[in-house]
Amino acid sequence: MGNTEGEFDLLDPDGAEGVGDEWEEIDVTDTEADRVARKRDREFNQFRKRIKDADQFKVEASVFDEATLRALYRLVHHGHIQAFGGPISTGKEANVYEALGAEEQVAVKIYRINASDFKDMREYLIGDPRFEELGGDKKRVVLAWTRKEYANLERARKAGVRVPTPIAVERNVLVMEYIATDGERAKRLNEVEIENPETAYNVVREYMRRLNDAGLVHGDLSEYNIVFHEGQLVFLDMGQAVTVHHPNSEAFLRRDCENVTNFFTRQGLETDADDLYAFVTGESVAEE
């Protein structure tokens, strides 16, 4: 062991401030930050109780875990959600609820973190470089997936595709435009009588082409996630959409083409999946 003599100096007692008085007064006055923090805690606890006590949410304990409640509270605090309504749809990975936004009704999509097994998500995740580092961590995957859906909606909207307008995202919660008429969700294509199938088909294939031009493939397109709203067709469920660089993007696009042409063939049109694929990818010149 080396010699440490002379390496350390003691504080000169003359430089010390002396022994403290154990009864000396200590300032415990609240700061403004303390008051704000306590107020937020009280508000959050009240919010949590309202959500958990609400009849429409009592059976959804797996959805409204603590982290999700805090995410919802932040969205409320920032004015994106004013009040909750009932569920619009429920699924294995996510539930969608109606809510009152800053100015109008909105849809709030909440992805499950604890309950989801991701069986239906895996084929869209494997090979996507954005998810390679996430491994099997469910929470990280869900948070990334939620932000991915927000980004996909924004990209589709900018490409001229009618989709719900994304409003805000917080952890596993996505707030977006609620596609509804008089408080009722818009009808899916399989739920309505299509008066002009040819026009509807041309709109769908044009939207598919615009998505492709923007570097996206829906990946799960069918009559079940295209709705009719105020004279427009709207694409829903953009969470699983992948970029054209995904190793399975071509297979996903061909499956989309099969689903779309099969539906419109049942509507009496002569359609072909290969022709639709060629139109979407630009491999053929579309007829005017």
How do strand 166-170 and strand 105-111 relate by DSSP bridges?
unpaired
Report for 18-32, 39-53, 112-126, 141-155: range of highest mean pLDDT: 141-155
How far, CA to CA in Å, does 140 sit from each of 113, 135, 221?
9, 9, 26
Beta bridge pairs of residue 243: 216
| Fold matches, 43-177 and 187-287 | no
What pLDDT score does 46 carry? 64
> 3-class DSSP state for residue 169?
strand
Work out the average pLDDT over 59-79: 77
Give, rounded to a whole angstrom, the gap between the first and last alpha carbons of the chain: 90
What pLDDT score does 269 carry? 95
The answer to whether 274 and 205 are in contact (CB under 8 A) is: no
Work out the average pLDDT over 84-110: 87
Domain locations along the chain = 43-177, 187-287
**Options 9, 14, 237, 274, the catalytic residue:** 237
Work out the average pLDDT over 187-200: 92
How far, CA to CA in Å, does 276 sit from each of 209, 224, 255, 258?
9, 19, 11, 9
> 3-class DSSP state for residue 73?
helix
What pLDDT score does 288 carry? 40
What pLDDT score does 5 carry? 53
What pLDDT score does 132 carry? 72
What pLDDT score does 128 carry? 73
- Quick one: 43-177 is in which CATH superfamily? Phosphorylase Kinase; domain 1 (3.30.200.20)
What pLDDT score does 90 carry? 82
Higher pLDDT, 177 or 124: 177
Q: Which structure tokens are listed for 280?
A: 């979407």
Residue 234: pLDDT band with limits 50, 70, 90: very high
Burial of 42 (0-12, 13-18, 19+ CB in 10 A): exposed
Work out the average pLDDT over 228-242: 92
Rounded to whole angstroms, how far apart are CA atoms 123 and 144?
A: 15
What pLDDT score does 59 carry? 47
Share of the chain above pLDDT 70, in %: 73
Rounded to whole angstroms, how far apart are CA atoms 25 and 12?
A: 27
Continuous H helices in the chain: 32-53, 66-77, 122-125, 138-158, 197-213, 249-266, 273-281
What pLDDT score does 32 carry? 59
> 3-class DSSP state for residue 25?
coil
pTM of the prediction? 0.78
The answer to whether 105 and 178 are in contact (CB under 8 A) is: yes
Averaged confidence pLDDT in the chain: 81
Vertex 236 angle, CA 89 and 163, to 5°: 130
What pLDDT score does 281 carry? 96
Residue 220 designated active-site: yes
Work out the average pLDDT over 229-243: 92
- Name the least confident of 56-70, 97-111, 267-281: 56-70
Rounded to whole angstroms, how far apart are CA atoms 253 and 240?
A: 12
What pLDDT score does 228 carry? 92
Beta bridge pairs of residue 100: 83, 105
Q: Is the pLDDT of residue 143 over 70?
A: yes
The answer to whether 225 and 237 are in contact (CB under 8 A) is: yes
Residue 84: pLDDT band with limits 50, 70, 90: confident
Residue 21 designated active-site: no
Spell out a b/e string for 224-260, using b for 16 or more CB atoms within 10 Å of the CB, else e.
Answer: ebbbbeeeebbbbbbbbbbebebebbeebbbbbbbbb
Architecture of domain 187-287: Orthogonal Bundle (1.10)
**Options 220, 256, 272, 275, the catalytic residue:** 220
